[in-house]
Copies of this chain bind each other. A is one copy, B any other.
């Protein structure tokens, strides 16, 4: 997920320091619920964290680094891009690790200029999603501005059905590069599909204050989290560990997801991202290095942070 919107929505360190109640003005029916931590069975002051790797299936380098990070136990969740070339490799991992907390990273963009992919559906059924080369658009802004919401709905349902046919029961849904958060029509599609599949979604309660349509569309039964930590290009590469370290030290009670992008700084990833260092090969190696480090493990321990998964969120949804 490399998204200007998500970057803008993502929590900054300063807002992390604010009390939870300042996070926004959800509609009353949402606000009346007990806190998410309490609904999940934790004390109200529990600091709950999902450490989530995006972009599984995109490239071998992403798969290999993410699987290695899962094996450390420090990264405990991830989401899969069904249209991407290395899907089958991560599907094999998922089948061999049925306990893994794997969702779908619904994909409407193909963002690396030398390395592209198309939709799951037949191209003539989703022409509004395709650039002139027949791939998904390079950016979330282009994708959202051209996308027919009906075609978006058909395509994301097809991505979910494809994953299920391959033996994956996704634990949650999110949106690659935040395309489905770009406007209300796309967000309504996202929420409708998530409800149909009874799946929790990457939406943060903190977003209510910043994007009107988020709280307008959500209902009390939807399962989402309190906040998201997502590093962005404004952070200098030398400040990587500092950014994440401070985010963890300042973590507020409730459920937070740290969204990370793992890969190795190797020839495949360097080639894919050669003209786009943001969320590029070195960026992903830095994320890998931090989130598989003893430093991160100690930070979790020292700050009394409890790691949870999307499976727990999923149990909040009525069946």
- Within residues 6 to 48 of chain A, which ones have a CB less than 8 A from any CB in chain B? none
- Scan residues 57-101 of chain A and give those whose CB is less than 8 A from a CB of chain B: 59-61, 63-64, 85-89, 92
Stretch at the interface among A118-126, A204-212, A225-233: A118-126
Interface residues of A (CB under 8 A from B): 59-61, 63-64, 85-89, 92, 113-118, 120-125, 133-134, 162, 165-166, 264, 266-268, 271-272
A-B contact pairs, 29 of them (CB 8 A): A60-B114, A60-B115, A60-B268, A60-B272, A61-B267, A64-B267, A85-B116, A88-B113, A88-B114, A88-B115, A88-B116, A88-B133, A89-B271, A118-B118, A120-B134, A122-B122, A122-B123, A122-B125, A124-B124, A133-B162, A133-B165, A133-B166, A134-B162, A264-B267, A266-B266, A266-B267, A266-B268, A267-B268, A268-B268
If A85-B85, A124-B125 are given as contacts, then 18 extra A-B residue pairs at C-beta distance below 8 Å, sorted by A number, are A59-B268, A60-B114, A60-B115, A60-B271, A61-B267, A63-B271, A86-B114, A87-B116, A88-B115, A88-B116, A89-B115, A118-B118, A120-B134, A122-B122, A122-B123, A123-B123, A264-B267, A266-B266
A272 to B88, CA, bound (A): 10
Residue of B nearest to A89 (CB): B114
Nearest Cβ on chain B to A124's Cβ, whole angstroms = 4
**Cβ–Cβ contact B114 & A271, under 8 A:** no
Query: Which residue from chain B places its CB closest to the CB of A83 in the assembled complex?
Result: B118
User: Which residues of chain B are within 8 angstroms of A267 by Cβ–Cβ distance?
Assistant: 60-61, 64, 264, 266, 268
Alpha-carbon distance between A87 and B121 when the two chains are bound, in angstroms:
20
Q: Are B271 and A64 in contact (CB under 8 A)?
A: yes
**Cβ distance A276 to chain B, nearest Cβ, rounded Å:** 13
| Complex CA distance for A87 and B116, rounded to whole angstroms | 8
Q: What residues of B have a CB within 8 angstroms of the CB of A85 in the complex?
A: 85, 115-117
Least Cβ–Cβ distance between A235 and chain B, in angstroms = 27
Across chains A and B, which 3 residue pairs bring their CB atoms closest together, nearest first? A89-B114, A122-B122, A122-B124
Q: Which residue of B lies closest to A87 (CB)?
A: B116
Q: Which residue of B lies closest to A133 (CB)?
A: B166
Interface centre among A60, A89, A166 (most CB of B within 10 A): A60
Q: From residue A139, how far is it (CB to closest CB) to chain B in Å?
A: 15
For the complex, give the distance between the alpha carbons of A243 and B134 in Å: 42
B residues in contact with A61, CB < 8 Å: 267-268
Residues of B with C-beta under 8 A to A121: 123
Q: Look across to chain B and name the residue whose beta carbon is closest to the beta carbon of A135.
A: B88
- A264 cross-chain contacts in B, Cβ below 8 A: 267
Contact A86 B64 (CB under 8 A): no
| Nearest B residue to A270, CB-CB | B60
Q: Residues of B contacting A266 with CB < 8 Å? A: 266-268
A63 and B268 CA atoms in complex are apart in Å by 11
